[in-house]
Amino acid sequence: SIASADMDLNQLEAFLTAQTKKQGGITSDQAAVIAKFWKNHRVNIHESLINQSRWDNVLKNMNWRVDLKSQLRHIDQINTPVAIVEMELDKNGQ
């Protein structure tokens, strides 16, 4: 629950307090250990979950622009905007 919600320190404190008050929940010592572990490893756990949830490719870079045509054979096509999009994909950390 802590990792999937990516809890900040206030949310973590409230969650662990609720868990200690719940019947059959955790002890205050266990809550302190969990809190310390989460504070020290939150970024690594979050990145690991993101990497596990990716299917295949990820967007690495994107460039775009809009061009207007100024010369064409047919007058009705002049000033027609054309969007050009370039996307660079990365294959899951490669």
Please, which residues bridge with residue 67 across strands? 82
Q: Assign 3-state DSSP to the chain and report helix, strand, coil percentages, each to 5.
A: 50, 25, 25
Domain spans, the chain: 9-53, 57-91
| Per-residue pLDDT at 52 | 80
pTM over 0.85: no
What are the residue ranges of helices labelled H in the chain?
2-5, 9-21, 28-53
Sequential pLDDT tens for the chain (94 residues): 898 888 999 999 999 999 999 888 899 999 999 999 999 999 999 888 887 877 777 788 999 999 877 776 777 667 778 889 999 888 765 5
Q: Which two tokens stand for residue 88?
A: 């660079």
DSSP states along 54-88: --SEEEEEEEEEEEE----SSGGGTT-EEEEEEEE
| Per-residue pLDDT at 14 | 94
